[in-house]
Amino acid sequence: MIGALVLAAGRSRRMGTQKLLLPLQGRPVIAHVVDELLRSRVDRVLVVVGEDEGPIREAIADRPVQFVTNSRAEGEMLSSVRCGLAVLPAQCAAVLVALGDQPGIAAPVVAKLVDAFRADGGGIVVPTYQGKRGHPLLIAIRYRNEILTRYDNVGLRGLLDAHPDDVLGVEVASPDVLEDIDVPADYLRTVDRWTQPSRSGPRR
């Protein structure tokens, strides 16, 4: 079993409003992320929410996901990863850590990561575009305790740095693995790209 954690506990201070609820082609940003994961080869989707959980829960209430509340969402993103890891079923072989503000992630990209994980025998699988590492990350469950107890100041980057030989980069055709939405300019750029005549959803 492979579980997916969608990190959706941030306050969106740099955006000035909850960015996960911003509209994009008729759906909130968070819905794009969740829908692609549900279409992909993961077996369970958990959404880690924080103080703004009410509106986010409502936005994807009709999706078959499990919500996990991070009571320490003011801290680093790692705290949300830990919240999700703590409730993952014991039979999970790996966890996909996805950003709630990365609407361009597509199910075929996730499938490539899952296939690579299964073929490689397990470790840390990272999508790359033109050699640059992006998200989401697929992490073998054997690193669970390590993530729960280490890397407080550096997050998952510390895990990758600690195990460079375990990191498998998977090159994908889409730059979306490098792009998320943090500030208004990011959102406007995303809307512009998604409204181009050649664009009809996440690029593969």
Instruction: Kindly report whether the peptide bond that precedes residue 136 is cis, defined as omega within 30 degrees of 0.
Output: yes
Spans of all domains in the chain:
2-194
**pLDDT at residue 204 above 70?**
no
- The 8-class DSSP code of residue 6 comes to E
pLDDT digits (tens, 9 = 90+) for 48-65: 999 878 999 999 999 999
pLDDT, residue 202, reads 52
Please say whether the beta carbons of 29 and 69 come within 8 A: no
Phi, psi of 82 (to 5 degrees): -65, -40
**pLDDT at residue 201 above 80?**
no
pLDDT digits (tens, 9 = 90+) for 66-98: 999 998 766 678 999 999 999 998 889 999 999
pLDDT digits (tens, 9 = 90+) for 96-154: 999 999 999 999 999 999 999 999 877 999 999 999 999 999 999 999 999 999 999 89
Element (H, E) at 196: none
Please say whether the beta carbons of 178 and 104 come within 8 A: no
pLDDT, average across residues 175-195? 92
Fold that domain 2-194 belongs to in CATH: Spore Coat Polysaccharide Biosynthesis Protein SpsA; Chain A (3.90.550)
Beta bridge partners of residue 8, listed in sequence order = 49
Give the list of residues 6+ apart from residue 192 with CB closer than 8 angstroms, or none.
none
Q: How far apart are CA 120 and CA 80, in angstroms?
A: 27
